[in-house]
């Protein structure tokens, strides 16, 4: 075996040890990389929840109610994630509202008209946040070690091997960062699916009118009011 092959083997073994040492540390101490939110939640006995609600409201003017709902979301410190309105049809919005103001937001949205339906759901992500943060800290630690190793590398083969592994780890770091950011955002801002329907008066069909007339006749036969003809 030549000197070049020996160096490549040593480099490969070192990369494996670096990866193993970081991942094994995460396994031995999975809670060491918990996100601050998870730490505080567990210390206080609380949980990190992703809350989602849906609300259906019958309104007199869909366009006016839609604008009011959008303004309300902004007033509460949230925003409109999406909005879709059909001509002469319902308006459907997805609004994000700060979790502490979710109940207030639902009540105020319902006050735009006549509430028809409301639902609430929650998903516990405390352990998921802690796990992602632990994996992220491990990946960052490995990235820093690889960067230090790259700075000391002299041979082209060493540089190329380290750079390849460093690119893989950097991609993992970015993926975990994006996932953690989404989780934190979902915890902070509840999602509310809002459906605004045009409030229509009920129109009786032929049978309805017949029953209504029969009721009037029966009332005249059995009920006598002073002054009635």
Q: Are 112 and 99 in contact (CB under 8 A)?
A: no
Residues 119 and 102: beta-carbon distance below 8 Å: no
Cα distance between residue 15 and residue 146, in whole Å: 8
Tokens of 35: 């996100």
Q: What is the mean pLDDT of residues 83-94?
A: 88
Calculated CA dihedral for residues 161, 167, 169, 174, nearest 10 degrees = 180
3-state secondary structure of 98: strand
For the segment 163-203, what is each residue's pLDDT rounded down to a tens digit?
999 999 999 999 999 999 999 999 999 999 999 998 764 44
Residue 225 pLDDT exceeds 80 = no
pLDDT of residue 201: 47
Q: How confident is the model at residue 87 (pLDDT cuts 50, 70, 90)?
A: confident
Average pLDDT of every residue of the chain: 81
CB of 1 within 8 A of CB of 10?
no
Residue 38 has pLDDT above 50, yes or no: yes
Pair 49, 128: CB distance under 8 Å: no
Is residue 35 predicted with pLDDT exceeding 50?
A: no
Confidence of residue 226 (pLDDT cuts 50, 70, 90): low
Mean pLDDT computed over 33-59: 76
DSSP for 153-180, written as a single string: --SHHHHHHHHHHHHHHHHHHHHHHHHH
Which residue in the block uniquely carries the two structure tokens 């129109």?
203
Consecutive H or E run containing 221: helix 206-222
Give residue 218's pLDDT: 57
103-129 average pLDDT score: 96
Distance in angstroms (rounded) separating the CA atoms of residues 7 and 3: 6
Q: What is the pLDDT of residue 31?
A: 45
Torsion angle, CA of 30/34/40/44, rounded to 10 degrees? -20
pLDDT band at 219 (very low <50, low <70, confident <90, very high): low
The DSSP code sequence of 141-154 is: HHHHHHHHHHHH--
Token code pair at residue 30: 């999975």
Q: Quick check: 30 pLDDT over 60?
A: no
Going by pLDDT thresholds of 50, 70 and 90, the confidence category of residue 18 is: low
Task: Identify the H or E element spanning 28.
Answer: helix 3-28
State mean pLDDT over 138-144. Answer: 96
pLDDT of residue 81: 95
């Amino acid at each position: 075996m030549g000197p070049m092959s020996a160096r490549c083997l040593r480099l490969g073994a070192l990369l494996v040890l670096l990866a193993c040492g970081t991942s094994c540390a995460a396994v031995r101490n999975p809670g060491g990389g918990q996100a601050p939110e998870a730490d505080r939640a567990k210390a206080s006995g609380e949980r990190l929840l992703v809350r989602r609600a849906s609300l259906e409201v019958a309104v007199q003017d869909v366009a006016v109610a839609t604008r009011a709902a959008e303004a309300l979301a902004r007033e509460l410190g949230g925003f409109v994630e999406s909005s879709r309105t059909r001509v002469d049809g319902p308006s459907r919005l997805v609004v994000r509202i700060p979790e502490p103001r979710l109940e207030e937001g639902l009540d105020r949205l319902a006050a735009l008209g006549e509430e028809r339906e409301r639902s609430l759901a929650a998903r516990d992500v405390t352990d998921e946040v802690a796990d992602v943060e632990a994996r992220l800290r491990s990946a960052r630690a490995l990235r820093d070690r690889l960067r230090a190793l790259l700075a000391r590398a002299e041979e082209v083969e060493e540089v190329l091997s380290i750079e390849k592994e460093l690119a893989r780890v950097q991609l993992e770091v970015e993926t975990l960062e994006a996932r953690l950011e989404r989780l934190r955002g979902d915890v902070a801002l509840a999602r509310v699916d809002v459906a605004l329907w045009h409030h229509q008066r009920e129109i009786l069909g032929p049978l309805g009118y017949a029953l209504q007339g029969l009721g009037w006749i029966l009332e005249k036969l059995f009920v006598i009011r002073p002054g009635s003809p």
